[in-house]
Structure 1
Amino acid sequence: MLFDIDLNTWPVVRDLYRIERKTVWQHADHHHILVVICAGSCLFTIDNTDYPVSAGDLFLIPQGQHYIRRPLADLPCTFCYIHFTTAGPLVACTLDTARRQLLALKTKAGQERVQDSYQPNSYLSHLYLGNKTSLGELSGQVQALVDKALQEFQKNDLESQLIISLCASHILALASRVTLKSIVADSQAYADDPVPVPLKKALLFIRQNYSRKITLAELSQAANVSRQHLIRLFRGSLQTTPIDYVNRLKIAHAKELMRMTPLSVKEVAYELGFVSPHYFSRLFHKIEGMYPTDYLHRLQQFPTR
């Protein structure tokens, strides 16, 4: 079982401390708890399931979950306890559910990247952790983040809470990375990139050069494919042609320039590599259904929009 964690808003760290213990302890806390094992080893028990942990492991205890912590071989264990809250609950889910959600997110992210509409924040709502995570090579990074959070916790100023929340978010993200690798290791569908490499090269070239005139010959050369193959790639992935994609990107940026700068229509046209402001005006009308002068007039009427 895994827990789906929503990080669209920063977690709030309510308490933070490092302790060494070799005694039995049981509790059910009203906050979520993230336990980073710093040295030694011990045993956590949740719902009659034992989880032996040692240095380099991380243990997650959801809010309200009763747990027991026991020493192993009567030896001490050093750990950092991070008590935190999130905007939403930790949602339990199965491995299959997490795998399906990840595949859907990967496909959606790939489509948004090629369509220039990628919104990273929409993917922060799905970090996955089990109760126990073995950090492996990421253990050093997590320990450094724990040390940084503990230092800031002592300062107790306005900036400290933000830095501590960032450290906690970073730890959760690193632990989720470990979890995701194990979830998708046997999923070829996740490993396969839905965006062909030549198309990525063409899109990168467009974004780096759309402020000037771009020809199909330049694009095919940048993508290292023929013009015909490039057109097929654009039609297959974006349902449009390369030149239409370039034009729509130019017009989208033109609207941004008119919203954010005092440039005139003619100046915007020249800024985006149009030789003829008249052609720019006709293209703007074709894509937006209005002329750029009308768009500017509307912005002046409703400046807060």
Structure 2
Amino acid sequence: MNAHESRDRENWLNIAAESLAGSQLSFQVQYWGINPSHYDNPLHKHSFYEACYVRDGEGIYQDHDTEYPLRKDTLFLSKPGILHQIRSENGLDLSYVAFEIDEANSAPEVVASYRLLLDSSNCIRYGIGETPAALIWRALIGQTRQNDSLSDSLLNSTAQSLLLSLCSAFSEENEEERTLPPRKLSHHSMRSAVLYIRDNLSADLSVKDVARYMHLSVRSLSRLFHENLQVSCQDYIQREKMKRAVHLIRHTDLGFSEIAERAGYGSVHYFTRVFTKIYGVSPGKYRSGQ
């Protein structure tokens, strides 16, 4: 889909699917977007919800203090008042919708349930390609291909179904795919240390490396981690390394030497030894489910 075609479809959606009325739950859409080459945007926040569907590409989504990897068939939700940002080096094929609940035309008990599920759920879901939300989103975009003969009511109805489906999409918790945010950080230095570790895991980080970057002594850095996260800096680095390794084993076909390198282990043999000690099985058996 080229940029001109995307703009045509986007404009059609913004005209035909702006106010979505339902029997119990209605929505006001702020805007629809279809961008086949979305790169970076600044750190910002909204007074409304914004749901984004990654149709292809890779990048990073930052939600408050936490960064989440983006890849094909990822759905993520920016909630009102939360600082967030999207970054991508090579561009994301991204579809998105910004919306509010039309409370004046909705049943109060349904509004409360919908908002509770969205606000209490995780902000990101992976592997949603065959879920109702993704299927409806693709169908919605497909309906704009022949907008000269398209029924506005059909497009409107599909858009309404999409926003309703987001509720179930984000309420279905998936412990294996979910990236849990760290404990609320009480110090700017703590946030900076955590982000530095996550961004530089492949460099085989040491506690001294982090302390040097933070312009702190090793003792001060250790105290910072114990006070905020109740773990040592070394344990936190090790945990993040294993989290990245497990993610790569589960969701890629990379060889174990490449996984070890990306997770910050200088040797695949050392990585295998540490992994086996923690999980009780080798990386190969873990990947095969044995």
Structure having the higher Rg? 1
Q: Larger RCO: Structure 1 or Structure 2 (Cα < 8 Å, ≥ 6 residues apart)?
A: 1
Fold match by TM threshold 0.5: no
TM-score (normalizing by structure 1): 0.40
